[in-house]
Structure 1
Amino acid sequence: MAFLSGDSAAALAALAALETGDGVPPLDRLRGIRSLLTALETDPAMLAAARDALEAGSSWEQIADAAGLSPSAAKYRWAGADDEIAERQEASRRRKRERPSSVPTDLPGESVAEAAKRLGVTPQAIYQRVTRGLVEARTVTLADGRSYKRVFIADGAPDAAPAGGPAAGGAAHDDDRADGRRA
């Protein structure tokens, strides 16, 4: 008797068919593997196996270990009645929809990391320049509550000099000799 859902069984069969084919493009192999993983992650067989393991006396730690999860993740995924699990999953999907995971690309200025890379200095050097008033910095807060530190450095501005130059705090002395010794 098969325990996988029809979707999982079909994804497994499709991946097995790719293995016997000659010259299967690498992207098709990746898509086949991903399809199988996605089908297995949502397969009711996972929940049934976890429930069977609990009934057989397994602990959440053992179930989590077998599934490659932490005990809290296993409980979150499989503990409780079907309606409780469905409610948790839907709440998780809602949070993901409401909270984008990527940094917007249309923010003003540049990030501290971007500025540091462009100038060939460390992020700490950029923060020091901000503290000294050599670089303008603002926190941009989006409507969804996310905040980003943005810096504004004009190309060719004195504060854009590399570390060690006058803008970085390394003042040149008129009485310095070419060999680096003081006069």
Structure 2
Amino acid sequence: MGVVKGVLLLILGASLYVASLVAVPVEEVRVEGLRHLSREAVLQTLRLAPGDPWLWVWGNRLRPLLENPWVAEAHLEKPALGQVVVRVRERRPFLPLETGDALAEDGVLLPQGAPLAPGPRVRGVGPLPREALLSLGRTFPQAREIRYTPAGFWVELEGATLFAPEAAYLLKYAQTARPKGRVFVYSWGVSQRP
């Protein structure tokens, strides 16, 4: 008798599983919040299309999408039978790099984001000092260019060029003066040339 119940439960479970695959298909998929990414690329990454079994669309499908540097957040909702809504918050490019990439406002490197970045152009030698560049970009949004080298940081403004061996010195200097000419900011003081 126990074997018969087990077989019946197995048949019932298999029937319910097959029914779940065909009974309620995905009829509509909305993707909201896109700026840079395309709807088709998002759906391909999620492996989601109309006709898929709606009951088996879960939030774990978002994992590959969240690995994309352009995606800051993503949420999957199922507001009604057959409907799926994917809400995406993309990162915003902030500082264009000479490589063609960009630094996002939160410091993530965005591939091919330079044309979309409104901040000062960034050039440099050595490892990318993300936090220092973001701070300088926010402090000097009107700058034409920010350069970094092992020796320090350069900020090119209209009518002024600033240099400091550490970004913190430039951040502090920006609070106190309107620069003109060539300005060198050190821990011990400021040197200015016309």
Does TM, normalized by the shorter one, top 0.5? Answer: no
TM-score normalised by the chain length of structure 2: 0.27
TM-score normalised by the chain length of structure 1: 0.28
Q: Which has the higher strand share?
A: 2
Q: Which one has a bigger Cα radius of gyration? A: 1
Q: Which has the higher helix share?
A: 1
